[in-house]
Structure 1
Amino acid sequence: MTHTETITMKKKVISTAELKQLVCSGGDERLLLDPLTGVNMYGCPPGPVEPSTWVHLSSSTATPISNGGFSHLAEIMTTLDETDGSDPVDERLEAIRQELFNYIGITSVDADIVFVPSGTDATLQAVFLARICLPRATTILRNLVLAADEAAGRVFNAASGFHFNAKNIRGDDVIKGTPIPGLHGPTGDKTIECIDVSFEKCQDEAYIEESVDRLVNHSGDTHVLLHALDTSKLGNRTPSHDCLNRIEQKYSKEALTILIDACQFRMSPWRIRDHIKRGRYITITGSKFFTGPAFSGAIIVPACFRAQIQQAPVNNYMTNELAAYSAISDWPQSWTNIRSCLNTYTTVLWKSNIGQFLRITAAMFELRRYSAIPSSWREQFIVAATAEIRAAFSSVPDLLEPLENKTRNSFFDEFDEEFRHLTIFPFFIRQPNKVKTFLNLDACKELYQKLQIPNETNPITVVIGQPAAIVVNGYPDTVTTFRFSIDARTISDAFERAHGAVPVKTDILQSRLRLIIKKIADIVNTNDNQS
């Protein structure tokens, strides 16, 4: 089954193999399957896995699709019926927009939603939107990316208006790290700049405010796009809400736009509404906390930008290379100028990206399950699961050392609801028989791969948060962290097993932790004996 246009199906039963092929289509090389292992770079296959042989606490990175989610997609595919000349995927995406509005507690009057393959694509398209809203083509868009070392690794290139991978979502080859024609304006001059600030430096919020001030006042023809992080792949938020409020009060909307990178989607509806009310872009994905398949993202665009976007000279910025990063139905139906412009590039883009639609649909299946659970029960489970994970760390102090952010609680409050509690737990793996010495990045990458390979001693596949090299105050040089994560599917499964009874039970999580830690220990000790 090829993906060259929107697929029309009328009451057709789709095979498992065909559905798997579609689920991993419409993305860049990160979704490509290794021919030997059958999994993508995140360790996930295109279909559901057998719970008795797979263990995953990896929602900070990616999670295999659930059995329920996959069955839901098979059912959806039988109902995609083009009866009146309209695009059925386009209509379904409009319905998903409405469902997201309902979850957040807003209406289409308050915001618009743009669908994107990944969180990195969300950054790229947010830069595009910020660019077309500038008053002049010559205005310099200066991106200040906070805690870039705790965001996705490709964000800096996307924020710079550059290709961030070797392929686009159609599988076409592009040159990573080179400017995308059009984004930098009709003259091709460099009108987008990007500056990154490490998470460590972001601990000094005066430094953040000074950095914004320097960029705003760099010249009279500058607009700053400030990328704030909520929540990072290590579970952190930067800057604080007070800091963001001070910055917004100091500068006009003509000088500053704020983008909230919430791609982990560990954010309460109240917090999302507050960001929208304050006129901040928000990028989200359904593949982290909500455990949809990788590559199911969106940008929430506050209504205060609607008139500017709908009146923007899109043709001045659109090119073949930029158009190929999206499909027409990704964009709201009311944004007729963008859709009309993209319609002239149909040789390089799709009307609808069926793979992306399916992945978003699977994520919404999980969001629906989660949102049906009483908020008090969800919070009780997260608190109990946190205690379980901390107990697991304490049980193997010579193997695992948790990374604790002691200031985190000061950045969260009751309006964050259950997400004021930790749901991502970073940790280091100690080198055997060495004090305060941890596995380096290469060793961690090797261990990450070995965890995914069943063997006679440990016949299970283990997927946890990918190793990430970071700089942490109090630790020598660069250290590499893994992550355990609590996710919506784990909570939904536990709720359904218990029929909502309290107190909540975390016995399944406890069992998973034991299996994972045992396999980590076996690999580390085997490597040590062989060295």
Structure 2
Amino acid sequence: MLPSELLQPLDTLLTSGCDRRLVRCASGFNPYGTGVDVRSALPLGSCTCSSPSARAIVAAQAALKTLRESSCPHAVAAKLLVGVRSILRHRLKLSVDVAIALTPSGTDVEILALALVGGNDDRKIVNVVVGAGEVGSGTIRAAGGLHSDQIVPRGKASVVGHAVNESLAARTTVVPISVRSGSGEILSPIEIDDRVSQAVIDAVSQGSRVLVHLVAHSKTGVHAPTLGLIQRLTKAMGNDVSVVVDAAQARLAPSAYQSALDRGLMVFLTGSKFFGGPPFAGALLIPPALRPNNFSGLDGLENYLGREDFPVTWERVRSSCDEWLNVGSLLRWVAAASEIDAYFRVPDHVRKRIAVAFNQAIQERFMGLSNVKLVRSFQSVDHGSYLRPIESTPTVFAVEMMDQRGHRLGRDSLKELHGQLNVTGEDRFHLGQPVAIGRDRYALRIALGAPLVTQIANGTNDDSTLQHRIAKFQNQLGTLSQRMTELSRSTLEVGS
């Protein structure tokens, strides 16, 4: 007899096995304005998450059909996840000795990374989270080994802020490092490096182990700290310092992942931001030297990860797991893998051409507007100081909006306009939700994602050329700038 979970509809399964972020609101969407149905809105919110493409849904449907028709769903699930890992390994150019853990979301990766570092001994841990205001909303709690939602992926109730593993959480202190000033300006690389360095030196001098986050593309495009600082810290302090690359946006060049792993750094990414799979899906890439020796730190993770989620080479960990299979996470990863594979099938020069066209259109259509302003939200990334980005031009732009009196719109007003752009008008646009870029400053984000690149590159059944499809895309961005200008002019910020 089939497990009852497999009898549920696909849309229900795709929103299962995570937390309340996937629960549909009265609007029919999750809190990010996306869902698990294919939409016609132009997908420009991949810096948060996107609704799935038809290709992703077809992949998930096929996987679910295979599971339902099997007399041994667990064996089929294991095979499907081998396929997911194979695509990640192939497309991201990972060596065979890299371990790949799959998680229900990027937030859950934080807990696993902490457990791997903290499981080696019983010392105190200082978790240095760089760009804390520009990474996942649940990052700080998860980085402290705490539950960040009232529901855990296994479906059980939890208490926000309570420990996933009592011993691990009690030993962990989180130190957030901002990458912006209070006014919202990006700090210089030297300033950020100095802050990170001081936090690490202080922690190690007090006998603590340190886990440092190197953010490789924040919600608005910031990379920090520099690779040079990381190299100096790890060389000087040896095993007292571990590093995890927060590449949750997945906006790194394929070669960058192995480059980081070769330096002994863990890397986490998602299949649901740039790569455009259904929300959410996380992965932790682990170099061979960080294979766990002490598994006590993993206690409590049974509510987050099942047997097949752990790397296939971690036999002892997997053998200690029960039969729980997270079908929702599996289907989301299968869907994401289809997007990853399709994106990298597009020739490099075509992907680059589309990214350049996106950049040009944003600069041309949004520059000089009175009520909609581009925010300096990315650095000119020096390939020697940072991991190489997926494109040489930015793929995420942050924009502030002003009301009819010229006052900046706050979070609530931007959320309302975000919703209007998403569901009203002849042309609909899904953008990245408002993000804080300073004290009382918020911005929406316009992001290029893999499914959109693939769609423009491959076209549909019409006879239009790539040049025509790119021109159409640029015109759509022009329409977006007009819509945003019109909406801002008709808005009056409360309290202004």
Q: Same fold (TM over 0.5)?
A: yes
CA distance in 2, matches of 1:459, 1:501: 24
Name the structure 2 match of 1:497.
Answer: 459
Q: Which amino acid is the alignment partner of residue 342 of structure 1?
A: C
CA distance in 1, matches of 2:73, 2:393: 48
**Alignment pair present for 1:268 and 2:253:** yes
CA contact (8 A) 2:413 2:493 kept: no
Name the structure 1 match of 2:211.
Answer: 225
The number of residues matched between the two structures is 484
Name the structure 2 match of 1:92.
Answer: 80
Report the 3-state secondary structure (helix = DSSP H, G, I; strand = E; otherwise coil) of the residue aligned with 1:265.
coil
Shift of 1:184: 1.9
CA distance in 2, matches of 1:114, 1:339: 11
Matches within 5 A, 1:282-297: 282-297=267-282
Q: Which amino acid is the alignment partner of residue 192 of structure 1?
A: T
Name the structure 2 match of 1:216.
Answer: 204
**Alignment pair present for 1:152 and 2:131:** no
CA contact (8 A) 2:222 2:379 kept: no
Name the structure 1 match of 2:443.
Answer: 481
Q: 1:25 aligns with which of 3, 10, 16?
A: 16
Q: Which amino acid is the alignment partner of residue 184 of structure 1?
A: L
CA distance in 2, matches of 1:323, 1:441: 36
CA contact (8 A) 1:3 1:25 kept: no
Name the structure 2 match of 1:419.
Answer: 391
Name the structure 2 match of 1:11.
Answer: none
**Alignment pair present for 1:42 and 2:32:** yes
Question: Which stretches in structure 1 are left out of the alignment for 5+ residues?
Answer: 8-13, 472-476
CA distance in 2, matches of 1:248, 1:438: 42
**Alignment pair present for 1:197 and 2:167:** no
Report the 3-state secondary structure (helix = DSSP H, G, I; strand = E; otherwise coil) of the residue aligned with 1:482.
strand
Q: 1:155 to 1:411 in 2, by over 3 A?
A: farther
Q: 1:116 to 1:522 in 2, by over 3 A?
A: same
CA contact (8 A) 2:251 2:389 kept: no
Shift of 1:486: 1.0
Name the structure 2 match of 1:466.
Answer: 433
Shift of 1:413: 7.9
CA contact (8 A) 2:110 2:143 kept: yes
Q: Deviations over 1:359-406 (max 9, x none)?
A: 111111111111112212211221121001111102x61121101247
**Alignment pair present for 1:383 and 2:356:** yes
Name the structure 2 match of 1:281.
Answer: 266
Q: 1:428 aligns with which of 400, 410, 417?
A: 400
CA distance in 2, matches of 1:363, 1:130: 28
Report the 3-state secondary structure (helix = DSSP H, G, I; strand = E; otherwise coil) of the residue aligned with 2:355.
helix
CA distance in 2, matches of 1:407, 1:340: 45
Q: Normalising to structure 2: TM-score of the pair?
A: 0.90
Name the structure 2 match of 1:474.
Answer: none
Name the structure 2 match of 1:514.
Answer: 478
Shift of 1:198: 0.5
CA contact (8 A) 1:113 1:301 kept: yes
CA contact (8 A) 2:431 2:444 kept: yes
CA contact (8 A) 1:429 1:439 kept: yes
**Alignment pair present for 1:113 and 2:104:** no
Q: Deviations over 1:462-510 (max 9, x none)?
A: 3100001121xxxxx4310110011111211111129997768522322
CA contact (8 A) 2:109 2:284 kept: yes
Q: 1:336 aligns with which of 287, 309, 315?
A: 315
CA distance in 2, matches of 1:493, 1:280: 34
CA distance in 2, matches of 1:84, 1:265: 33
CA distance in 2, matches of 1:526, 1:442: 15
Q: Which amino acid is the alignment partner of residue 171 of structure 1?
A: G
Question: Which stretches in structure 2 are left out of the alignment for 5+ residues?
Answer: 182-186
**Alignment pair present for 1:247 and 2:233:** yes
Q: Which amino acid is the alignment partner of residue 228 of structure 1?
A: L
- Flag the structure with more relative contact order, 1 or 2, with Cα contacts below 8 A and sequence separation at least 6: 2
CA distance in 2, matches of 1:4, 1:94: 24
Q: Normalising to structure 1: TM-score of the pair?
A: 0.85
Q: 1:299 aligns with which of 284, 299, 320?
A: 284
Q: Which amino acid is the alignment partner of residue 237 of structure 2?
A: Y
CA distance in 1, matches of 2:73, 2:36: 31
CA distance in 1, matches of 2:105, 2:31: 14
Q: 1:210 to 1:43 in 2, by over 3 A?
A: same
Shift of 1:146: 0.8
CA distance in 1, matches of 2:493, 2:146: 45
Q: 1:65 aligns with which of 52, 58, 69?
A: 52
Report the 3-state secondary structure (helix = DSSP H, G, I; strand = E; otherwise coil) of the residue aligned with 2:423.
coil
CA contact (8 A) 2:221 2:379 kept: no
Q: Which amino acid is the alignment partner of residue 158 of structure 1?
A: A
Name the structure 2 match of 1:525.
Answer: 489
CA distance in 1, matches of 2:469, 2:104: 35
Q: Deviations over 1:173-192 (max 9, x none)?
A: 2111222234528xxxx211
CA contact (8 A) 2:20 2:150 kept: yes
CA distance in 2, matches of 1:406, 1:46: 30
CA contact (8 A) 2:177 2:195 kept: no
CA distance in 2, matches of 1:414, 1:162: 30
Report the 3-state secondary structure (helix = DSSP H, G, I; strand = E; otherwise coil) of the residue aligned with 2:100.
strand
CA contact (8 A) 2:94 2:257 kept: no
Q: Once the two structures are aligned, what percentage of the paired residues are identical? A: 23
**Alignment pair present for 1:369 and 2:342:** yes
Q: 1:94 to 1:410 in 2, by over 3 A?
A: same
CA distance in 2, matches of 1:504, 1:302: 44
CA distance in 2, matches of 1:246, 1:160: 25
CA contact (8 A) 2:150 2:158 kept: yes
CA distance in 2, matches of 1:415, 1:156: 23
Report the 3-state secondary structure (helix = DSSP H, G, I; strand = E; otherwise coil) of the residue aligned with 1:446.
helix
Question: Which region of structure 1 is more displaced relative to structure 2, 141-150 or 404-413?
Answer: 404-413
